[in-house]
Amino acid sequence: MNIKQILILAVTAAICIGFVFPFFGYDQEQRGGPADTGREIKAPVAYYEIQQIASDAIVNITNETSELIAISNNPAAPGFMDGMYNLSQSVNGTDGMSVEVWNHGTFVFKFRVPAPNAEIVKEINENVLYPIRANITFRGYMGKRLGYGEVIYITAGLHTKKGDYIWADVYQKKNETMTVPELFGLEKRSIPEGPTIYAEVNETTDISVGAGITSNFDLEELKEEISDMTGTAHKPANFVVNPRTEEKTIIAAEASINETTNETIIRLVNKTVIKKIPPGEAVMNQLNNLSGVSAQLNNDTNVTTVSFNNSVEEITKILDSTRMNYTRNNGALSFRLPLDADTSAVNATLIAHNVSDIRMNINGFISMDYYVVFDGTLTQVRDNGHFPAALNLDAKVNDKIRAELQYYTMSGGPAGTTIIPYSAVQV
C-alpha cells in the first residue's frame, strides 16, 4: 500500500468519525469559528457570513483564475480538512488548497492549479474529494457586472471562458477580520452564444409548404386535389430570352473647339453601334397563342420573359427556331396546411404535378433566453418567450430543440453594430 492510499484511508476514516460525532472538532457551527482543539490546523480555512444582494445579474467574464472549486454541504472536522490538504499536496500540478466555510454549513474547497486540465481534475476528484462525495464542478473567474462596471470574483462552470456572458447571483461575504464586505458571484446559467441556441417549443400553428415548379403546372387542378391548402403564392416557371446582338457601323458627327481660334470644328467619323434585337412580332404571337403562356418584352433591355404553366415543349421548339440564347428558370409555389394534414399524401400529389424541391415545416413559436451573444456582442431578443420559428414536422409543444436564429445586422449609430433577431429555424 503506497502513501497516497494510506492517506485516502485515513481521510475516509476521519469522515466516518465525523458522521458518528458530527460536532467533533466543529463547534464553530455554533460559535462562528474553529473549535479550540489545542492543535494548529494546517489547511487554510476562512469562515464567512454570506448574504445575497442581487439576483439575475449579467456578468461578462474578463479573466480566468487558477482556482478549481468544489462545493459541499457535508460537515468536515479540522483534522479531516488537514487530511484533504495533505492529499492535495500529492497531486501533480496543484499548488495548494484552501477552504471557505459559508454560513456555518457550506464548504468551498479551492485548489490552486496554474494549468488546469482534465487529468488534474480527475485526480483531485478521485484522491482528494472522494471521501466527502464532492467533485470539482466550478472554476474561479473575474467578471464585470453589467450596469455597475465593477469587477468581481465569479464562481462558474468549468467550461466558461473569457468573453462569455452569464447570469449570476451576487453575494457579499464578511467576517470579523474584514472592514469592508467582499462581493462575489455564483453562476446561475450561461447566456447562449448564437446563432444556434437551445430553445423550447411553446406553440405550433400550421404547416408551411414551399416548392419549385420545373415544368407544366396547373394551380387550379392542384387546389382541387389538396382542398385544405390556404395562403397560396405562385410564381410560374419561365424562359428568359436574351436579345440577338448586331454590330452596325454608322457615320456620326463629332464636334470640337479649336482653342486658338475658338472655332467649332465638325468631323464625320465611323462609329460601331451594337443593336439588341428581340424576338419578332411573329414569334411573340406564336408564344402568346400557346396554352398557359405569357410572353412579355422589356422595352428597356429588350429581354423577353416567357412565363408558362403549360406548353413547355412547344415553347422550346419556337425558341430553338430563333437561334437566340435563352435560359429556363424554375417557378415557385408556397401554401399552408392545417397541423393534421397528411403530409405524405400532399408530397406525392405535388410530385405528380411536376413540383420538385418540396420543403415542409411547422410554423410555431419557441421560448429562449432573453439575451444571446453574437460574435461577442450581447444582444437582446424581443419576444423571447414567444419567438417565431420554423420547426421540423415532428416538433411538439414542450420539446427541447436546437434552433438557428435568423437576424439582421445594422451598422452605425451611437450603439455601433446592432443585431436584430427576427425568426428561428430548428436544426
Domain boundaries, the chain: 3-190, 197-235+333-426, 237-331
User: Three cell numbers at 225?
Assistant: 386535389
Q: Is the dihedral of CA 109, 111, 116, 122 positive or negative?
A: negative
Residue 29 C-alpha from the chain's centroid: 46
Distance, in Å, from the CA atom of 70 to the CA atom of 424, rounded to the nearest integer, reads 38
User: CB atoms < 10 A from the CB of 49, how many?
Assistant: 14
Distance, in Å, from the CA atom of 90 to the CA atom of 199, rounded to the nearest integer, reads 44
What end-to-end distance do the CA atoms of the chain give, in Å?
A: 53
In terms of DSSP bridges, do strands 45-72 and 106-112 run parallel, antiparallel, or are they unpaired?
A: antiparallel
Distance, in Å, from the CA atom of 360 to the CA atom of 352, rounded to the nearest integer, reads 17
User: Who wins on pLDDT, 85 or 99?
Assistant: 99
Confidence (pLDDT) at 78: 63
Average pLDDT over every residue of 207-213: 96
- For a pLDDT cut of 90, what percent of the chain falls above it? 66
Query: Nearest CA to 423 among 409, 405, 401, 396?
Result: 405
pLDDT grade for 415, boundaries at 50, 70 and 90: low
Per CATH, the number for 237-331 is 3.30.70
pLDDT grade for 410, boundaries at 50, 70 and 90: confident
The C-alpha cell 419549385 sits at: 212
Residue 119 predicted with pLDDT over 90: yes
DSSP annotation of 385 reads T
Distance, in Å, from the CA atom of 176 to the CA atom of 32, rounded to the nearest integer, reads 10
Torsions phi, psi of 163, nearest 5?
A: 100, -15
Using an 8 Å Cβ cutoff, are 120 and 91 in contact?
A: yes
Torsions phi, psi of 81, nearest 5?
A: -65, -35
User: Three cell numbers at 136?
Assistant: 470539482
